Chain A
């Protein structure tokens, strides 16, 4: 049972990796600062490094959300298994839809659902849920968006038009910082889950830190997932919300990095994904002449709202089935594998690969000349401008 949980946890880690590549690397790919393959390579290495340098206690995963321990709920490997199933399934569904949703919320949602089935509603600490997850989830993208908006304004006000290509170099550094921060945050969540399973299975003393092999496999799993590249989500974040210029990309990544660093340093667990999406929207509002596709933004926001409940429902169903006995768990596993295969086959219908994202949008002043009707309109606009001057 514990082995099954570990395998599933590693698979979750892998999906977490490719789901979240977009957070750091969508904007540099969109502006052509980094070629797609190079970008995901850098992100993978930094996630690997990030997973190793973080030594914070992995038990923070439950963060008091589920009242475990004496007088509370007994967390069994079966519950963790059901919770993970919910998280993985939701991650795959949002990936097929190209929605940047929070992997952490999927994980929390799955575990919450499983815990409710296992021990009833009393097992969930609603205050913690509200103050540690729901409220930061609402506020973090807003703060990131605001910072990104102001940073974009600053960048465009300070630099001349032809100087803005220099931001591409800066983008490499800021997005790398986001990747590193992601590695220290997210790989740790899986380490926490595996350690929790080992403790629950009686293979490791309570309140002990993750063992070295756990850290190693988690780091490798998230790096592999990152390198695989969630091209669908990269496309949504880099091209779907707004068209991004290098200066905007730099501003957005700087805002993302600053928000994540400030909050983790002060003990708020944020979703990297939501911060990054907020930043991209903020920078879209910040540049004059840029437009934000609110339909796409709305779809993403809707995805966020239903992430926890959806993962919880799947986690709960899996927990109900798993409680019947060993064949319930087997049934869970088989159904899950069938769904994975179905989602994979569905995704083959319209694949999004590195190649689709390789042709970066050229910077403003080397944009190819418009032809036909557009060219005449542009020329008219130029003349009008000249007349004003």
Chain B
């Protein structure tokens, strides 16, 4: 029995996670990286912060200790 449904979930989840992190980090570099006028620095730092939070979420997913927490969500 092949679980196509859960496979689709995995594919979409990876797509959202992978592209999301890259988009956030790229925007952070775009707004707060070198060769910027500094006017949107705050926005860039916000992007980096959200990106770090997403990665932290990923770390939590790896650690089974936190699994019950996610089960409740």
Report chain B residues within 8 Å CB of A165: 34
CB <8 Å contact, A158 and B27: yes
Q: Roughly how many angstroms separate A264 CA and B9 CA in the complex, as a whole number? A: 12
Q: Is B73 interfacial (CB-CB < 8 Å)?
A: no
Our pick among B15, B22, B35 for the contact of A250 (Cβ within 8 Å) is: B22
The residue of chain B having its C-beta at the shortest distance from the C-beta of A177 within the complex is B58
A144 engages B33 (CB within 8 Å): no
Given contacts A166-B33, A266-B13, is CB(A259)–CB(B22) below 8 Å?
no
Asked if residues B22 and A151 are in contact (CB atoms below 8 Å), the reply is: yes
Distance from A262 Cβ to chain B, minimum over Cβ atoms (Å): 4
Q: Are B6 and A266 in contact (CB under 8 A)?
A: yes
* Chain B residues closer than 8 Å to A162, beta-carbon distance: 34-35
Q: Are B9 and A131 touching (Cβ within 8 A)? A: no
> Which residues 8-48 of B sit at the A interface, judged by CB distance below 8 A?
9-11, 13-19, 21-23, 25-27, 29-30, 33-35
The answer to whether A131 and B1 touch (CB under 8 A), given A166-B29, A266-B9, is: yes
B25:A167 contact, CB within 8 angstroms = yes
- State whether the Cβ of B50 lies closer than 8 Å to any Cβ in chain A: no
CB of B34 within 8 A of CB of A163, answer yes
Check A148 against B25 for contact (C-beta < 8 Å).
Answer: no
CB-nearest residue of chain B relative to A251?
B22
User: Is B53 part of the contact surface with A, judged by Cβ < 8 Å?
Assistant: no
8 Å CB contact of B21 from A131, A144, A159, A174: A174
Q: Main secondary structure on chain B at its contact with chain A?
A: helix
Q: Which residues of chain A come closer than 8 Å to B70, judged between CB atoms?
A: 265
Q: Is A56 an interface residue (CB 8 A)?
A: yes
Residue A147 at the B interface, CB < 8 A? yes
Asked if A288 lies at the interface with its beta carbon under 8 angstroms from chain B, I say: no
**B57 to A: closest C-beta gap in Å:** 9
Q: Given A151-B18, A250-B22, A254-B22 in contact, is the A160-B30 Cβ separation under 8 Å?
A: yes
On whether the beta carbons of B58 and A257 are closer than 8 Å, the reply is: yes
Min CB distance, A156 to chain B, in Å? 8
- The complex places the Cα of A164 from the Cα of B30 at a distance, in Å, of 9
In the complex, 21 of the A-B residue pairs with CB atoms within 8 angstroms, ordered by the A residue number, are: A143-B10, A146-B15, A152-B22, A154-B23, A154-B26, A155-B22, A160-B33, A162-B35, A163-B34, A163-B35, A173-B55, A177-B55, A254-B17, A255-B18, A258-B15, A261-B58, A263-B14, A265-B13, A266-B6, A267-B6, A268-B10
Instruction: Return chain A residues, CB-CB under 8 Å to B16.
Output: 258
Q: Are A158 and B59 touching (Cβ within 8 A)?
A: no
Chain A, 113-149, contact with B by CB distance < 8 Å: what is the 0/1 string? 0000000000000010011000100010001101110
Q: Does A53 contact B (CB under 8 A)?
A: yes
Instruction: State A264–B7 Cα separation when bound (angstroms).
Output: 11
Query: Is A209 on the interface with B (CB-CB < 8 A)?
Result: no
A42 located at the interface, meaning its Cβ lies under 8 Å from any Cβ of chain B in the complex: no
- Closest Cβ of chain B to A148, distance in Å, is 7
Of A150, A247, A262, most buried by chain B (CB within 10 Å of CB) is A262
Residues on A with C-beta less than 8 A from B69 are: none
Q: Does A170 contact B (CB under 8 A)?
A: yes
List A222-236 residues whose CB lies under 8 Å from chain B. none
Q: Which residues of B contact A144 (CB under 8 A)?
A: 14
Supply 6 further A-B pairs (C-beta < 8 A) apart from A143-B11, A159-B26. Answer: A143-B15, A155-B25, A254-B25, A257-B58, A262-B10, A262-B14
Inter-subunit contact B26/A155 (CB<8 Å): yes
Contacting A159 at CB < 8 Å: which of B33, B62, B63?
A: B33
Cβ-based interface call for A204 (8 A): no
Tell me if A158 and B23 are in contact (CB < 8 A): yes
Closest to A128 in B: B1
Verify B1–A259 contact, CB threshold 8 A: no
Whether the Cβ atoms of B62 and A163 lie closer than 8 Å is no
Task: Quote the shortest CB–CB distance from A47 to chain B (angstroms).
Answer: 12
**Residue of chain A at shortest CB distance from B23:** A154
Docked-complex contact B61 and A265, CB < 8 angstroms: yes
Whether the pair B62, A250 counts as a contact (CB closer than 8 A) is no
Q: Does A55 contact B (CB under 8 A)?
A: yes
